[in-house]
Amino acid sequence: MTYKAYIDNIRAKTGKDPEYFQKLAKEKGLVSHAELLSWLKSDCGLGHGHANAIILYIKDPELAKKEASGRRKKRESQKIVYLLPSPQRSCVECAG
């Protein structure tokens, strides 16, 4: 699921935008990931993944907006790497 899909689902379920959760978290003085996660899951009724999507917005709104728009470049670790099987060695090569 894309980041945008998470945010769209949150809006559909709660009727609230990420900005709403950001403002409320600031009012409550919630800062750490654990505090935010617990609050979003227990008080706001979000699932784990949806709560993490909101936490990204709370902690880094600019990155979250890039994720939602699809403008962010993939990090090196996110690129797909295809591994091809190595050629089979004959018994003579394996024996030495």
- Report CA 75 to chain centroid distance, whole Å: 13
Q: What is the pLDDT of residues 60-86, one digit of tens each?
A: 999 999 888 876 555 544 555 556 555
pLDDT value at residue 80: 56
Q: What is the mean pLDDT of residues 4-24?
A: 95
- The answer to whether the beta carbons of residues 28 and 89 sit under 8 Å apart is no
DSSP state of 29: T
Q: What is the pLDDT of residues 26-61, one digit of tens each?
A: 999 999 999 999 999 999 999 999 999 999 999 999
**pTM of whole model > 0.75?**
no
Residue 90 has pLDDT above 50, yes or no: no
